[in-house]
Amino acid sequence: MTEEKIKLVTNNKKAYHDYFIEEKHEAGISLVGTEVKSIRMGKCSIKEAFIIFQGNEAMICGMNISPYEKGNIFNKDPLRVRKLLMHKDEIRNLEQQIKIKGYTLVPLEVYFKHGRVKVEIGLAKGKKLYDKREDMAKKDQQRAAEKEFKVRLR
């Protein structure tokens, strides 16, 4: 019974608003030392990030890791393209689903798992405006129901 030590760094709430998430996958990221230190300090953003395929590799673009303050010459470009560490068959499978079904890959969370930086990526299909409105209406109804329930308890 090993307990998984997971420390969430950042999540992408906008992805859940803009997309229907069909599947979730976990991937490692190829980083340099100063980037890992910066992520440990919580200076990471995946709001505008997306995933592309180059050859047989998956890459994450638009992921902003702020430069480490004490990193001087070892700091890299904050928006550089980073390689995702996944199995080849997993990459091939995702690439086929994107080509055939019209899905996209978006990063959902960045977290530490057993001391290693991981990214949870989601196979997503875009929402239309009316889908977003339906979700907002459901959330409003749920909030109102919870508020009413709290009032009744008092």
For the chain, the domains span 6-127
Q: Would you state the pLDDT for residue 140? A: 85
Which of 63-77, 88-102, 135-149 bottoms out in mean pLDDT, i.e. has the lowest? 63-77
89: three-class secondary structure by DSSP = helix
Of residues 131 and 41, which shows the higher confidence score? 41
User: In whole numbers, what is the pLDDT of the chain averaged over residues?
Assistant: 83
Give the sheet arrangement for strand 57-61, strand by strand: 6-11, 104-113, 116-126, 19-29, 82-85, 57-61, 50-54
Query: What is the dotted CATH code of the domain comprising 6-127?
Result: 2.40.280.10
CB 108 within 8 A of CB 10: no
Q: What is the per-residue pLDDT for 87? A: 93
> Coil, strand, or helix at residue 41?
coil
